[in-house]
Structure 1
Amino acid sequence: MSELEKLNPEFVKSYRMLLLFLRFNFIDLMNQMSDMPYFKYLYLFMFSIYTIALVCHTSGILEKISEGANLLQLSGDLSAAVVILQGAILFVNIYFNKNKIKEFILRLGLEWRDDNNLRPELVMLKRKQLSAVYLFTFAFYTGLNIFVHSYMMIPLIYIMIKKFILKLEVSHTVPFYAKVPFNYENNFLLYLIVYMYDYGIMYNLGYLISADILLITVSMNNLRILFQLLRDDFKSIFNSLKNGNTPRSHGVIEKHLITTIRRHITLLELMQELSTAFNGIFAIHLIFVSGTICFFGFAAVFGGTLEDYKNFVASVIVIVYIFFCCLHGQRLADSGMDIATSVYDSAWYQLPTKYKKIILIILLRSQKTYYIKSTRFTEISLKTFTRMMNMTWTFFSVMKTIYKRS
């Protein structure tokens, strides 16, 4: 039995789909494939496939440059090479941090609160936010699936119809050029092997690159829900303290207050653990996302063909999942600040002195905005998303200027 199965089902549901997509790349974060001992070694096979693909595509780009290809002719191939390089780096990062990620998810799951002792409106709030992220994830991967298959499969079907049904001479072209040590131009079987190799790589990379950042997004959303429930706990406690008249009632409330404060400390620790567990993943995305968007966008804007407009859709997909992650990073930071606002607005100054001291500690902890960080210098927030888009536009403008001059 996987350790994940011991946790609350509604909590596990938000992770199950993403963990499955990582297992497509032979990364078993939660040891769900422990009954297959050989599975843990297959990551070496997957990484070697990505490495070979990166070498072949980079060699193809260098060959085109030596033949005098311009930036527009290279843009599609450059975007593929950037995506493969990004995927390979993320693959290594996730694999070597998988134990930290596993420990974080398990600890967050232990802190998860079921529907018991929650007011109906809080239960609805929790389910609504879980459902919103799950539906986004499902819709995103449905769209990604359709896009990748249409991007890679339609050109192959078109070539096969011309070759085998219409009996026309066709060029064995691939969506992204890669230099291989054999000639497949006159051998359809070799061409099909090369094509399907690239097809499989792009399909798996689509899941790998998006699954890791959506894993961060789901974790931030779950942590945000716990902060919102905690905020309501503080409100309820302070209202009870103002209305409680007997020493017995004050004793019960005080125990509840101490428990809630400890829970607050735990959630702040979990924010730090989230940054540590997923260290570098968001930063890697930021480093590569500008290049990916620019190369795909450049091909779409200056290519002008129907095939080139598929590159525009690829740019939109990248922007969507980065924005969604930054949005939830901002919401998590805001929910931490909401604790201080909730406590401050609770007329705490009317309470006995011993409670004022406790409340002061809560205020001091909560008045600073805590952002989830990816490396020491990169925070996951809407401000970071804005900076990234500004940098992308600058990069795109430079590419446009170079292309027009050439």
Structure 2
Amino acid sequence: MLCLTKIISNNIEDNRNYYYDVSKKFLWMVGQWPYQKPKTRLSFFALLVTTLIICIITQTAHIFLCKDSECIFETLPAHLLMWNSLVKVCTYQFNSQKIKNLTDHLFVDWDILETREEREIMKKYAESGRWSSLIYAWYYYVSTVSFIMTSLIPPIMDILFPLNISRPIILAYPAHYFINEEQYFYYIFCHMLMTGVICMTGLIAHDCMFFTYIEHVCGLFTVVGFRFEQILYKRNIAKRKLIDYPDDVYNKNIAFSVHSYRRALQFAELIEKVYSISFAIQLTLATIGLSVTLLQIAQLHNLMDTTKYFVYIFAQLFHLFCFSFQGQKLIDHSLQICYKIYNSAWYEIPVKGQKLLLITMRKSTKASTVTACKIYVYSLQSFTTVLQTAMSYFTVLASFSE
């Protein structure tokens, strides 16, 4: 019996490592994994921040060299992206203890699961978080490399279809490196490719861990709803079979489910505390970046540049949509508790148990949300609002640039 328990425990531990390995590896690479050695964390974090600062400096230098607004607008999208990545990285650094608490929940919450059905529910959501992270990471790495590789098109065209003069070089994004760009083009290209991948890793690590947290808390809400359904279902079965169970048994089960619900709410609230301020800054930068990118597409007449900015704008929209989708998922799952209790045979359980359910129903009528400083709620409806706002800013900028 002891051996069987140990085998089951090892299997659960393996499942946890499997489901969270993607987020763990990304956080480890940027020095944000809570269980890393302090020296390792500091080294990786210092490398990432140094890389981001170098990119920001070169882009800022280019902005100071600009002589018109068109040049500034051309530099802003990539510049804002670097600031956005820096904000994401600093979010975990300044909330390291809260991140550790959240990560502890990921592993500890599996221990309170009682039945095989509950474990299957958590596995489903953990698997969803893992695949979301993989798809998100794959998309952004492909987009980043594709965006930077466009700068190699002119040299390749010079080799395949040479002209009397060399085609002008085009950097992946506007930046000033304080050296002769034509002479050291390939060195600059390698630097941009390397720094782009490193900076994008910081962004992906932040976002993938957020997806993992949201999927986990949605799984907790689903498990709580399942427990309430099972309690009432067992009551009905016992009644049909004329089995007399003491009311205290049901009251204890309901109290345990209420405790699990409170634990899920605390997890959701901790997510809100960690990301709220950071999301406000990120949303502002993303909205401005989206507007400026639309302006660039409207003004460009070069097919290659237009294609490059289309890749960039789709990446921005994908980023906003993923966050809005996860926010909507949290809202829907937090509200489902009330509906599951209401649609069950709650009137057949003891009065004391009904009072506990009533308290839970009242609490569950208020959705758990992820917000930007309590002002903007991440949801699919809000996603359309951001698009409308970005289009409004784009119209204003376009009128000024004419």
TM-score (norm 1): 0.84
Q: CA deviation at 1:233?
A: 0.8
Matched residue, 1:227: 221
Give the % identical residues.
Answer: 16
Q: CA deviation at 1:57?
A: 0.8
Q: Which amino acid aligns with 2:293?
A: F
Structure 2 portions without partners, runs of 5+: 1-9
Matched residue, 2:7: none
Do 1:54 and 1:85's aligned partners in 2 also have CA atoms closer than 8 Å? Answer: yes
Q: CA deviation at 1:82?
A: 1.1
Would the alpha carbon gap of residues 301 and 131 (structure 1) be closer, same or farther in structure 2, given more than 3 Å must change? farther
Matched residue, 2:20: 15
* Residue 175 (structure 1) aligned with residue 172 (structure 2): yes
Q: Which amino acid aligns with 1:388?
A: V
Give the alignment partner of residue 255 of structure 2, picking from 253, 258, 269: 258
Q: Following superposition of structure 1 onto structure 2, how do residues 137-286 of structure 1 map, counting pairs within 5 Å? A: 137-156=133-152, 158-159=154-155, 162=158, 169-185=166-182, 187=183, 190-244=184-238, 245-248=242-245, 250-286=247-283
Give the alignment partner of residue 92 of structure 2, picking from 83, 91, 94: 94
Deviations 1:339-384 (A, max 9, x none): 1111122232333322222222112221222213343333322233
Q: CA deviation at 1:10?
A: 3.7
- Name whichever of 123-132 and 270-279 sits farther off: 123-132
Do 1:336 and 1:366's aligned partners in 2 also have CA atoms closer than 8 Å? Answer: yes
2:141 partner SS:
helix
Would the alpha carbon gap of residues 356 and 226 (structure 1) be closer, same or farther in structure 2, given more than 3 Å must change? same
* Residue 375 (structure 1) aligned with residue 369 (structure 2): no
Give, in whole Å, the separation in 2 of the partners of 1:123 and 1:246: 28
Q: CA deviation at 1:151?
A: 1.7
Do 2:62 and 2:175's aligned partners in 1 also have CA atoms closer than 8 Å? Answer: yes
Would the alpha carbon gap of residues 369 and 146 (structure 1) be closer, same or farther in structure 2, given more than 3 Å must change? closer
Q: Which amino acid aligns with 2:264?
A: L
Q: Which amino acid aligns with 1:364?
A: R
1:27 partner SS:
coil
TM-score (norm 2): 0.85
Structure 1 portions without partners, runs of 5+: none
Deviations 1:168-196 (A, max 9, x none): 635444122222333343x3xx3333332
Give, in whole Å, the separation in 1 of the partners of 2:206 and 2:12: 21
Matched residue, 1:348: 346
Matched residue, 2:4: none
Deviations 1:295-333 (A, max 9, x none): 333323331313322211221122123212222222222
Do 1:339 and 1:366's aligned partners in 2 also have CA atoms closer than 8 Å? Answer: yes
Aligned-residue CA RMSD in angstroms? 3.0
Q: Following superposition of structure 1 onto structure 2, how do residues 25-174 of structure 1 map, counting pairs within 5 Å? A: 26-32=30-36, 34=37, 37-64=39-66, 66=67, 68=68, 70-71=69-70, 73-112=71-110, 117-119=115-117, 126-156=122-152, 158-159=154-155, 162=158, 169-174=166-171
Give, in whole Å, the separation in 1 of the partners of 2:388 and 2:125: 30
For these two proteins, the number of residue pairs brought into alignment is: 388
Do 2:80 and 2:286's aligned partners in 1 also have CA atoms closer than 8 Å? Answer: no
